Amino acid sequence: MTADEWQAVFAGAGLVVTAMAALLALIQLRRYIEEREDAARPFLVVDYNFRSILMMIEVRNVSGAVASNIRLSVDKPFESHMAGRADVLNDLFSDAYRIKQLGPGRSIHWTFDRAPDYYAGDYPRNYEVTASYNDPRLLRRLVPWKIWTRKIPVRYAETFDLNFEQWGQANADVDYDDKNWNINHRNETRVEQIARGIGKIVDALEEANDTPRQSMPIARRGRR
């Protein structure tokens, strides 16, 4: 091969290397953008929440971004021991209901049943629920190259398995003996006793201030 031919080969090889480096840089940039979007996107979690013996279904925004136009669905109808609660939840987890928005760190929950009654009954042990929602800050076109179409918010969806069986034998923060009520009642009683004691002290001070002062008589000097 002549010098010109070798020069052409090296030039072509250099062009290939440059193109591969550019492609790799684009791939890395795309991954970086996706990671940044994932870190900044809203993220909702649907799970059980227990308050004393009450079992609730909670939707919580665990991210730092607002989620909007939230839709909830479930794979089978909810069943509950408490009258009317299943109907309420089945309406919430349907196409007829939307949560307009849920801010960062905020949650919303609905009473489902009493945990002991549900555990003792013949009810489903798991529900598969799906939460779909928008990121109102991130807008994209359905077809990227159709630049004349309107941009819409990016929509996400997560599915969760609400498995009650895993909580059946767990030590939950329950209050079967009204422990919290008893503690609050004792604290209120102590505050009332302190208030009564302070009131007695104030009454004693006021009584002391209202008592006329008795001055000592001054002996007059006799004339010589």
**Where do the domains of the chain lie?**
40-168, 172-202
- 27-78, pLDDT tens digit by residue? 776 675 666 666 779 999 999 999 888 999 999 999 999 999 999 999 999 9
What letter would DSSP give residue 175?
-
Helix (H, G, I), strand (E, B) or coil at 113: strand
- 90-129, pLDDT tens digit by residue? 999 999 999 999 999 999 999 999 998 998 889 999 999 9
Per-residue pLDDT at 23: 74
- 155-205, pLDDT tens digit by residue? 999 999 999 988 866 655 545 445 555 555 566 666 677 767 776 776 666
Residue 155's contacts (CB-CB under 8 Å, 6 or more residues apart) are 69, 132, 133, 134, 135
**DSSP letters along 49-93, please?**
EEETTEEEEEEEE-SSS-EEEEEEEESS----SSTTHHHHHHHHT
Strands (E) in 78-174, as ranges, are 99-102, 107-114, 126-140, 152-163
**Strand 44-51 vs strand 99-102: parallel, antiparallel, or unpaired?**
unpaired
